[in-house]
A and B are shown apart, each in its own frame.
Chain A
Protein backbone atom coordinates (compact mmCIF):
# COMPACT_ATOMS: atom_id res chain seq x y z
CA UNK A 1 0.00 0.00 0.00
CA UNK A 2 1.74 3.12 -1.15
CA UNK A 3 -0.90 5.75 -0.68
CA UNK A 4 0.22 8.71 1.33
CA UNK A 5 -1.29 12.00 2.34
CA UNK A 6 0.40 15.32 1.83
CA UNK A 7 0.86 17.30 4.99
CA UNK A 8 0.00 20.57 3.30
CA UNK A 9 -2.59 20.11 0.61
CA UNK A 10 -1.64 22.67 -2.00
CA UNK A 11 -2.83 22.85 -5.55
CA UNK A 12 0.10 24.92 -6.72
CA UNK A 13 1.82 22.70 -9.31
CA UNK A 14 5.10 24.62 -8.87
CA UNK A 15 5.39 23.35 -5.28
CA UNK A 16 7.86 20.49 -4.92
CA UNK A 17 6.14 17.12 -4.50
CA UNK A 18 6.62 14.86 -1.50
CA UNK A 19 8.71 11.72 -1.74
CA UNK A 20 6.45 8.78 -0.96
CA UNK A 21 8.14 5.40 -1.05
CA UNK A 22 7.07 4.09 2.38
CA UNK A 23 9.83 1.48 2.74
CA UNK A 24 12.58 3.94 1.94
CA UNK A 25 11.04 6.56 4.21
CA UNK A 26 10.93 4.10 7.12
CA UNK A 27 14.57 3.10 6.58
CA UNK A 28 15.61 6.76 6.40
CA UNK A 29 13.69 7.51 9.59
CA UNK A 30 15.38 4.67 11.48
CA UNK A 31 18.83 5.67 10.24
CA UNK A 32 19.31 8.06 13.17
CA UNK A 33 18.10 5.66 15.86
CA UNK A 34 15.30 3.26 16.87
CA UNK A 35 11.72 4.54 16.83
CA UNK A 36 8.18 3.27 17.37
CA UNK A 37 5.31 3.79 14.93
CA UNK A 38 4.07 7.25 15.92
CA UNK A 39 7.62 8.60 16.22
CA UNK A 40 8.37 7.31 12.72
CA UNK A 41 5.27 9.00 11.30
CA UNK A 42 6.22 12.37 12.81
CA UNK A 43 9.88 12.00 11.84
CA UNK A 44 8.93 11.18 8.24
CA UNK A 45 6.73 14.28 8.12
CA UNK A 46 9.75 16.39 9.09
CA UNK A 47 12.07 14.49 6.76
CA UNK A 48 10.01 14.43 3.60
CA UNK A 49 6.75 16.34 4.11
CA UNK A 50 4.78 13.10 3.73
CA UNK A 51 2.47 11.75 6.42
CA UNK A 52 2.17 7.96 6.13
CA UNK A 53 -1.13 6.42 7.15
CA UNK A 54 -0.93 3.75 9.91
CA UNK A 55 -1.76 0.92 7.50
CA UNK A 56 0.83 2.08 4.98
CA UNK A 57 3.44 2.42 7.73
CA UNK A 58 2.86 -1.08 9.08
CA UNK A 59 2.76 -2.53 5.56
CA UNK A 60 6.26 -1.13 5.07
CA UNK A 61 7.44 -2.24 8.54
CA UNK A 62 6.23 -5.81 7.92
CA UNK A 63 7.90 -6.00 4.53
CA UNK A 64 11.19 -4.56 5.80
CA UNK A 65 11.27 -6.87 8.79
CA UNK A 66 10.61 -9.93 6.64
CA UNK A 67 13.50 -8.84 4.42
CA UNK A 68 15.79 -8.47 7.42
CA UNK A 69 16.29 -4.74 6.88
CA UNK A 70 14.83 -3.72 10.26
CA UNK A 71 14.27 -5.60 13.52
CA UNK A 72 12.04 -5.13 16.57
CA UNK A 73 13.52 -4.19 19.95
CA UNK A 74 12.07 -4.86 23.40
CA UNK A 75 8.58 -3.28 23.65
CA UNK A 76 8.32 -0.07 25.70
CA UNK A 77 4.94 -0.24 27.47
CA UNK A 78 2.41 -0.31 24.63
CA UNK A 79 4.86 0.75 21.95
CA UNK A 80 7.03 -1.41 19.74
CA UNK A 81 10.28 0.24 18.64
CA UNK A 82 12.22 -0.90 15.56
CA UNK A 83 15.88 -0.61 14.65
CA UNK A 84 17.55 -0.62 11.24
CA UNK A 85 19.93 -3.55 10.63
CA UNK A 86 23.34 -3.52 8.93
CA UNK A 87 21.68 -4.89 5.78
CA UNK A 88 19.07 -2.12 6.03
CA UNK A 89 21.81 0.52 6.21
CA UNK A 90 23.47 -0.95 3.13
CA UNK A 91 20.20 -0.95 1.18
CA UNK A 92 19.37 2.59 2.32
CA UNK A 93 22.81 3.85 1.29
CA UNK A 94 22.53 2.18 -2.13
CA UNK A 95 19.02 3.54 -2.76
CA UNK A 96 19.90 7.06 -1.66
CA UNK A 97 23.07 7.03 -3.78
CA UNK A 98 21.02 6.05 -6.82
CA UNK A 99 18.49 8.80 -6.05
CA UNK A 100 21.31 11.30 -5.55
CA UNK A 101 22.89 10.42 -8.89
CA UNK A 102 19.50 10.61 -10.56
CA UNK A 103 18.67 14.02 -9.09
CA UNK A 104 22.14 15.35 -9.93
CA UNK A 105 21.78 14.25 -13.55
CA UNK A 106 18.24 15.67 -13.73
CA UNK A 107 19.29 19.04 -12.29
CA UNK A 108 22.25 19.21 -14.66
CA UNK A 109 19.89 18.79 -17.60
CA UNK A 110 17.63 21.52 -16.23
CA UNK A 111 20.60 23.89 -15.89
CA UNK A 112 21.41 23.32 -19.54
CA UNK A 113 17.99 24.65 -20.60
Chain B
Protein backbone atom coordinates (compact mmCIF):
# COMPACT_ATOMS: atom_id res chain seq x y z
CA UNK B 1 0.00 0.00 0.00
CA UNK B 2 1.09 3.54 -0.68
CA UNK B 3 3.02 4.99 2.29
CA UNK B 4 1.04 8.23 2.41
CA UNK B 5 -2.29 6.40 2.28
CA UNK B 6 -1.18 4.04 5.05
CA UNK B 7 -0.26 6.98 7.31
CA UNK B 8 -3.57 8.70 6.52
CA UNK B 9 -5.55 5.59 7.42
CA UNK B 10 -3.73 5.23 10.73
CA UNK B 11 -4.73 8.81 11.62
CA UNK B 12 -8.40 7.77 11.59
CA UNK B 13 -7.84 5.63 14.69
CA UNK B 14 -8.18 7.17 18.18
CA UNK B 15 -5.00 8.75 19.55
CA UNK B 16 -4.52 6.18 22.33
CA UNK B 17 -4.70 3.35 19.81
CA UNK B 18 -2.32 5.13 17.41
CA UNK B 19 0.25 5.75 20.11
CA UNK B 20 0.42 2.05 20.88
CA UNK B 21 -0.13 0.37 17.51
CA UNK B 22 0.14 3.15 14.92
CA UNK B 23 3.77 2.67 13.83
CA UNK B 24 3.69 -1.11 13.49
CA UNK B 25 0.24 -1.03 11.85
CA UNK B 26 1.41 1.57 9.31
CA UNK B 27 4.46 -0.58 8.50
CA UNK B 28 2.24 -3.59 7.99
CA UNK B 29 -0.11 -1.66 5.69
CA UNK B 30 2.84 -0.37 3.65
CA UNK B 31 4.26 -3.87 3.24
CA UNK B 32 0.86 -5.35 2.33
CA UNK B 33 -0.89 -5.51 -1.03
CA UNK B 34 -3.48 -2.81 -0.30
CA UNK B 35 -6.53 -2.75 -2.55
CA UNK B 36 -10.12 -1.71 -1.99
CA UNK B 37 -10.88 -4.62 0.36
CA UNK B 38 -8.04 -3.66 2.71
CA UNK B 39 -9.06 0.01 2.56
CA UNK B 40 -12.68 -0.75 3.50
CA UNK B 41 -11.54 -3.14 6.23
CA UNK B 42 -9.24 -0.55 7.80
CA UNK B 43 -11.87 2.22 7.59
CA UNK B 44 -14.47 -0.02 9.23
CA UNK B 45 -12.06 -1.11 11.96
CA UNK B 46 -10.98 2.47 12.67
CA UNK B 47 -14.58 3.61 13.04
CA UNK B 48 -15.37 0.61 15.24
CA UNK B 49 -12.32 1.44 17.40
CA UNK B 50 -13.75 4.93 17.87
CA UNK B 51 -17.15 3.56 18.86
CA UNK B 52 -15.82 0.78 21.06
CA UNK B 53 -12.24 1.62 22.07
CA UNK B 54 -9.85 -1.06 23.22
CA UNK B 55 -9.54 -0.69 26.98
CA UNK B 56 -6.55 -1.50 29.15
CA UNK B 57 -7.64 -1.60 32.78
CA UNK B 58 -9.83 1.41 32.10
CA UNK B 59 -6.90 3.77 31.58
CA UNK B 60 -6.03 3.29 27.91
CA UNK B 61 -9.11 5.22 26.90
CA UNK B 62 -10.40 7.64 29.49
CA UNK B 63 -14.18 8.11 29.53
CA UNK B 64 -15.19 11.20 27.59
CA UNK B 65 -16.71 14.24 29.27
CA UNK B 66 -20.11 13.28 27.87
CA UNK B 67 -19.89 9.73 29.26
CA UNK B 68 -18.92 11.04 32.70
CA UNK B 69 -21.80 13.50 32.68
CA UNK B 70 -24.09 10.77 31.32
CA UNK B 71 -23.61 8.94 34.62
CA UNK B 72 -23.83 12.07 36.80
CA UNK B 73 -26.69 13.94 35.13
CA UNK B 74 -28.38 11.68 32.55
CA UNK B 75 -31.35 14.08 32.26
CA UNK B 76 -28.96 16.74 30.93
CA UNK B 77 -26.97 14.53 28.57
CA UNK B 78 -29.86 12.50 27.18
CA UNK B 79 -32.60 15.13 27.44
CA UNK B 80 -31.30 18.68 27.18
CA UNK B 81 -28.12 18.16 25.11
CA UNK B 82 -29.80 16.37 22.15
CA UNK B 83 -32.66 18.88 22.21
CA UNK B 84 -30.15 21.76 22.09
CA UNK B 85 -28.24 20.00 19.29
CA UNK B 86 -31.49 19.54 17.39
CA UNK B 87 -32.50 23.17 17.95
CA UNK B 88 -29.07 24.36 16.70
CA UNK B 89 -29.37 22.24 13.55
CA UNK B 90 -32.91 23.52 12.93
CA UNK B 91 -31.67 27.10 13.41
CA UNK B 92 -28.92 26.65 10.81
CA UNK B 93 -31.37 24.97 8.41
CA UNK B 94 -33.81 27.88 8.78
CA UNK B 95 -30.99 30.39 8.22
CA UNK B 96 -30.08 28.59 5.00
CA UNK B 97 -33.73 28.68 3.93
CA UNK B 98 -34.09 32.38 4.74
CA UNK B 99 -30.83 33.48 3.07
CA UNK B 100 -31.64 31.36 0.01
CA UNK B 101 -35.06 33.02 -0.15
CA UNK B 102 -33.43 36.48 -0.08
CA UNK B 103 -30.74 35.61 -2.64
CA UNK B 104 -32.54 33.43 -5.15
CA UNK B 105 -36.24 34.29 -4.74
CA UNK B 106 -36.48 38.00 -3.87
CA UNK B 107 -39.79 38.35 -5.74
CA UNK B 108 -41.54 35.35 -4.22
CA UNK B 109 -43.88 35.40 -1.24
CA UNK B 110 -42.68 31.92 -0.20
CA UNK B 111 -39.40 30.01 -0.58
CA UNK B 112 -41.34 26.80 -1.23
CA UNK B 113 -41.45 27.15 -5.01
CA UNK B 114 -39.58 25.22 -7.75
CA UNK B 115 -35.97 26.42 -8.09
CA UNK B 116 -33.10 25.74 -10.46
CA UNK B 117 -29.32 26.12 -10.75
CA UNK B 118 -27.33 26.88 -7.57
CA UNK B 119 -30.58 27.45 -5.67
CA UNK B 120 -31.23 23.69 -5.86
CA UNK B 121 -27.91 23.02 -4.10
CA UNK B 122 -28.45 25.81 -1.54
CA UNK B 123 -31.95 24.75 -0.54
CA UNK B 124 -30.93 21.09 -0.82
CA UNK B 125 -28.27 21.53 1.88
CA UNK B 126 -30.83 23.17 4.14
CA UNK B 127 -33.35 20.42 3.49
CA UNK B 128 -30.83 17.65 4.22
CA UNK B 129 -29.84 19.37 7.47
CA UNK B 130 -33.48 19.88 8.49
CA UNK B 131 -34.55 16.29 7.85
CA UNK B 132 -31.23 14.74 8.91
CA UNK B 133 -30.87 16.68 12.18
CA UNK B 134 -33.02 14.36 14.33
CA UNK B 135 -31.20 11.30 12.98
CA UNK B 136 -27.76 12.85 13.60
CA UNK B 137 -28.71 13.98 17.09
CA UNK B 138 -30.15 10.49 17.68
CA UNK B 139 -26.92 8.81 16.55
CA UNK B 140 -24.90 11.05 18.86
CA UNK B 141 -27.22 10.16 21.74
CA UNK B 142 -26.95 6.43 20.91
CA UNK B 143 -23.14 6.63 20.76
CA UNK B 144 -22.82 8.36 24.14
CA UNK B 145 -25.33 5.98 25.75
CA UNK B 146 -23.70 2.84 24.31
CA UNK B 147 -20.17 3.92 25.23
CA UNK B 148 -21.26 4.89 28.74
CA UNK B 149 -23.30 1.65 29.06
CA UNK B 150 -26.26 3.71 30.27
CA UNK B 151 -29.50 2.10 31.30
CA UNK B 152 -31.93 1.93 28.39
CA UNK B 153 -34.40 4.26 30.12
CA UNK B 154 -32.41 7.46 29.55
CA UNK B 155 -31.59 7.10 25.85
CA UNK B 156 -35.19 5.96 25.33
CA UNK B 157 -36.52 9.11 27.02
CA UNK B 158 -34.11 11.34 25.08
CA UNK B 159 -34.92 9.68 21.77
CA UNK B 160 -38.63 9.90 22.59
CA UNK B 161 -38.34 13.62 23.24
CA UNK B 162 -36.55 14.21 19.93
CA UNK B 163 -39.04 12.00 18.12
CA UNK B 164 -41.97 14.02 19.47
CA UNK B 165 -40.28 17.31 18.54
CA UNK B 166 -39.48 16.07 15.05
CA UNK B 167 -43.01 14.81 14.46
CA UNK B 168 -44.67 17.99 15.72
CA UNK B 169 -42.65 20.89 14.26
CA UNK B 170 -43.21 22.43 10.87
CA UNK B 171 -41.49 25.24 8.98
CA UNK B 172 -43.54 28.34 8.21
CA UNK B 173 -42.43 31.18 5.90
CA UNK B 174 -44.19 34.54 6.16
CA UNK B 175 -43.79 37.61 3.89
CA UNK B 176 -46.82 39.90 4.12
CA UNK B 177 -45.57 42.10 1.25
CA UNK B 178 -42.70 41.94 -1.26
CA UNK B 179 -41.16 45.10 0.20
CA UNK B 180 -40.45 43.21 3.43
CA UNK B 181 -37.70 40.63 3.98
CA UNK B 182 -40.08 38.06 5.40
CA UNK B 183 -39.31 35.55 8.13
CA UNK B 184 -39.09 31.80 8.60
CA UNK B 185 -40.06 30.07 11.83
CA UNK B 186 -40.81 26.72 13.38
CA UNK B 187 -44.36 26.02 14.47
CA UNK B 188 -45.75 23.24 16.59
CA UNK B 189 -48.36 21.98 14.16
CA UNK B 190 -50.13 18.68 13.54
CA UNK B 191 -48.25 15.70 14.93
CA UNK B 192 -46.98 13.24 12.33
CA UNK B 193 -46.50 9.94 14.14
CA UNK B 194 -44.66 8.43 11.15
CA UNK B 195 -41.71 10.85 11.54
CA UNK B 196 -41.60 10.27 15.29
CA UNK B 197 -41.59 6.49 14.96
CA UNK B 198 -38.82 6.64 12.33
CA UNK B 199 -36.55 8.83 14.51
CA UNK B 200 -37.20 6.73 17.61
CA UNK B 201 -36.54 3.48 15.72
CA UNK B 202 -33.29 4.78 14.16
CA UNK B 203 -31.93 6.02 17.49
CA UNK B 204 -32.81 2.93 19.51
CA UNK B 205 -31.63 0.55 16.76
CA UNK B 206 -28.27 2.37 16.69
CA UNK B 207 -28.10 2.22 20.50
CA UNK B 208 -28.75 -1.52 20.66
CA UNK B 209 -26.41 -2.28 17.78
CA UNK B 210 -23.54 -0.32 19.36
CA UNK B 211 -24.28 -1.77 22.79
CA UNK B 212 -24.33 -5.38 21.54
CA UNK B 213 -21.08 -4.95 19.60
CA UNK B 214 -19.44 -3.40 22.63
CA UNK B 215 -20.57 -6.20 24.93
CA UNK B 216 -19.40 -8.84 22.47
CA UNK B 217 -15.99 -7.21 22.19
CA UNK B 218 -15.65 -7.21 25.97
CA UNK B 219 -16.87 -10.78 26.31
CA UNK B 220 -14.04 -12.54 24.43
In the assembled complex, the Cα of A38 lies from the Cα of B34 at a distance in Å of: 12
B32 touches A56 (CB 8 A): no
Instruction: Flag the segment in B41-49, B73-81, B101-109 that touches A.
Output: B41-49
How many whole Å from A20's CB to the nearest CB in chain B? 13
A58 touches B220 (CB 8 A): no
Q: Which residue of chain A is the closest to B37 with respect to CB atoms?
A: A5
The answer to the question of B84 belonging to the interface, with a C-beta cut-off of 8 Å to chain A, is no
Q: Is the interface of B mostly helix, strand, loop or mixed?
A: helix
B21 touches A62 (CB 8 A): yes
The interface bits of chain A over 58-84 (1 if a CB of B lies within 8 angstroms of the residue's CB, else 0) are 110111001100000001001110000
How many whole Å from A89's CB to the nearest CB in chain B? 15
Instruction: Flag the segment in B53-61, B126-134, B187-195 that touches A.
Output: B53-61
The answer to the question of B29 belonging to the interface, with a C-beta cut-off of 8 Å to chain A, is yes
Report chain A residues within 8 Å CB of B46.
55
The answer to the question of B72 belonging to the interface, with a C-beta cut-off of 8 Å to chain A, is no
In the assembled complex, the Cα of A59 lies from the Cα of B49 at a distance in Å of: 8
Q: Is the interface of A mostly helix, strand, loop or mixed?
A: helix
A53 touches B42 (CB 8 A): yes
A53 interface neighbour in B17, B27, B45, Cβ under 8 Å: B45
Could you tell me how many residues of chain B have their Cβ less than 8 Å away from some Cβ of chain A?
27
The answer to the question of B25 belonging to the interface, with a C-beta cut-off of 8 Å to chain A, is yes
A66 interface neighbour in B27, B43, B48, B54, Cβ under 8 Å: B54
The answer to the question of A1 belonging to the interface, with a C-beta cut-off of 8 Å to chain B, is yes
Known: A1-B41, A23-B220. A58 touches B55 (CB 8 A): no
13 inter-chain pairs at a CB distance below 8 angstroms, sorted by A residue, are A38-B28, A38-B32, A54-B38, A55-B38, A55-B41, A55-B43, A55-B45, A56-B41, A58-B28, A59-B54, A63-B220, A66-B54, A66-B55
Which 4 interchain pairs have the tightest Cβ spacing?
A53-B41, A55-B45, A55-B42, A80-B24
Besides A1-B48, A78-B31, 16 new A-B residue pairs in contact (Cβ under 8 A), listed by A number = A1-B41, A3-B44, A23-B220, A38-B31, A53-B37, A53-B38, A53-B41, A53-B42, A54-B25, A54-B41, A58-B28, A58-B45, A59-B45, A63-B54, A63-B217, A66-B55
